[in-house]
Each structure stands twice: as C-alpha cells, then as structure tokens.
Amino acid sequence: MVDVFAIIEVAVYIALVSPITYILLKHGRKGILGWLALQSFCFTRIIGNILVLKDGDNSTAATIINSIGLSPLLIGTIGIIHEARSARHPKLHRGREWCFVLNFHTMITVAMVLVVMGVIHMIDKTQTKTSENLMKLGMIITVFCYGQCWLYVGLSFLPSQVEPSAPALAEGLTLLYGVIAALPFIGIRQVYGLKIFIDDLNNEGNSKFATSKPAKYLLSAIPEFLAICIFCFVGIRTRHLSKLVKGSKYTVVEGVGQGYQGPNDDRLPLQYMPPQQGEGKYEPYKQPYPNQGPKEEYSPQVQQPVY
C-alpha cells in the first residue's frame, strides 16, 4: 500500500527547497551556515521519504537517513542565531562567536554519527548493548544542543550584545523572533524522538504509540514543517540584510554611536550618507544631531568699563 503521507511530505519539502535557495542566495555569505543546513534538512527528508515509498518503513537506508533526525535543523537554527547576532552587533568578538558555533557543529555531528552507528548495529542485531549506549549518548548530546539554542537566544538579548546604531538591527531582531517561534516546534519533535527511543529501549518498539501514523505526523512531521515555514518567512522578510551590512562601511568611533542618548548627549550619533550616483556604498560621517549646532569653545570675555 502506498504511503500517502510520505508522498505529501516529499511534495512539501520539494516545494520548500526553492524559497530556501532564494533566501540562501539573498543572505549570501553571512547566512550560509543557517540556510544551507536547512536546505540539507529538506533534502534528507525528501530522500528518506522516497526510500520509504520504494522499500517501505522497514527499509534499512530509509531508517538510517531518518535517524539523522533534527541534526541539520539544529545546525540551521544555530546558524540563523549567529547571523542575527552579527547583524545586531557587527563588532562582536569574532573569535568567541566562531568558537561557540564550531563547538556546536562538532557536538551535533558527533551526536548524529553516534545515533547512525547505533541504528546500524541495531539493524544488524549485533552488539545490542553497544548500539543502545551509542544511541543514548547521541540523544543526550542532541538534547543538550537544543538547550544551547535557547541559551544562545537568551544571551543575544543582553544589552552588551546589541549595537543600537547597527545598520541591520531590525533584521537581526526579526531573525531572533523567528528562532523563538520555531524552537517550541523543534522541542515537540525532540520529545517525540525521545519517546520513541525510550520505547525501543524498553522493547516497546511495536507499541501503539510507536507505530501510530497520526502520532508520527502530528508530533514529528508537522512540527518540523512549521519550524521550516517560520524560518522561511523571517528569511524572506530579512532578504535585504546582506545589502544593509555590505552597503555601509560600519566603523565604531569612540564616543560615536555607542550608547547615544539623544539630542542632549554630547556624543554624536553614527549616521550614514545616502549612496551617491555611481558609488552604491554608504559612507559613515559625523554630523551633529538635528537642531544641535556645532559646539564652540568657551572663551571668557572681559567687559571694558565705560568712562
């Protein structure tokens, strides 16, 4: 019997590849970590469901591909958070940022490899104890990485992580709100995966919940789809982010654009000159705040007596 839900899922993710590719091209180098991972997630879902249609749910290749699970989705999430943080504060410490991102990628990759190795051992029915331990460790690392996503988002709202005069400040905030909206759906998918894993460990892999098609699509396929749709929405909304960042030579000058308080502040705001004809770039320049004239040095004058 043909799995209608698998056909629908293939069609949906094929349709999602185009907007994600468009977003990837628009966001450019700054967004490659997040959007390329989301594109990979769509391809894994397409290939996995095609194999299910061809060989059924018991297909070894389909089981291995589907066991990858949330790994590409979590990598895409952390990439979007990284892009948002860079947009909200272009002068963040790059070393610390890349260290965190690379560490996250390493943990997710290790978790994915452990789960896949456990699934292979389980399919071959060899080293059952080893396969359980590998999958346990992989699932624990995945849950830890999901918690790190929430932590990374929370840290992004600290005052020290925001530069008020950043040219793409609004776009970065939109991306963060999109991540906040998508993470609960990713969490639902995470809980479903944990439940299935626990059932397998307790030899309840053929329980009603584990074999239920409605549970699979309500708690797995639909949350993943909604998370991807949210990311696509905010990605299209922020499609000009790369131009805003590239179109301004963002420089931080001491006392300029840092904690500016308004017209009564002695410091000047960081402003951007509109692109001149044939230039296409924004040049920063210092200009007094409107209605605030240039400061003059105070020089006391002695009034001459009148005789």
CB of 139 within 8 A of CB of 194?
Answer: yes
Q: Give the span between the Cα atoms of 213 and 304, in whole angstroms.
A: 98
**CB burial readout 48-67, b (16+ within 10 A) else e:** bbbbbbeeeeebeebbbbbb
Report the residue count for the chain. 307
Greater confidence, 45 or 278? 45
| Domain residue limits, the chain | 4-246, 253-307
User: In degrees rounded to 5, what are phi and psi of residue 87?
Assistant: -70, -35
pLDDT digits (tens, 9 = 90+) for 55-93: 766 656 666 676 677 889 999 999 999 999 888 888 877
Q: State the pLDDT at residue 64.
A: 67
User: Which residue type sits at 57?
Assistant: D
CB of 115 closer than 8 Å to CB of 139: yes
State the amino acid at position 234 in one-letter form.
Answer: V
Lowest mean pLDDT among 95-99, 216-220, 256-260: 256-260
CA dihedral (178, 180, 181, 183) positive or negative = positive
More confident residue, 205 or 116: 116
What is the CATH topology of the domain spanning 4-246? Rhopdopsin 7-helix transmembrane proteins (1.20.1070)
Average of pLDDT values for 171-195? 91
pLDDT higher than threshold 70 for residue 300: no
Q: Name every residue whose Cβ is closer than 8 Å to that of residue 99 and which is 6 or more positions away in sequence.
A: none
Q: What is the pLDDT of residue 151?
A: 92
Q: Average of pLDDT values for 12-21?
A: 94
Percent of the chain with pLDDT over 90: 28
The better pLDDT of the pair 70, 173 is held by 173
> At 204, is the pLDDT very low, low, confident or very high (cuts 50, 70, 90)?
low
Kindly report, residue by residue over 116-157, the tens digit of the pLDDT. Answer: 887 777 766 665 677 778 888 888 888 899 999 999 999 989
Query: 258 is written with which tokens?
Result: 């840092």
- Do 287 and 268 touch, CB atoms closer than 8 A? yes
pLDDT of residue 128: 67
CB atoms within 10 A of CB 26: 17
Query: Does 269 or 17 have the greater pLDDT score?
Result: 17
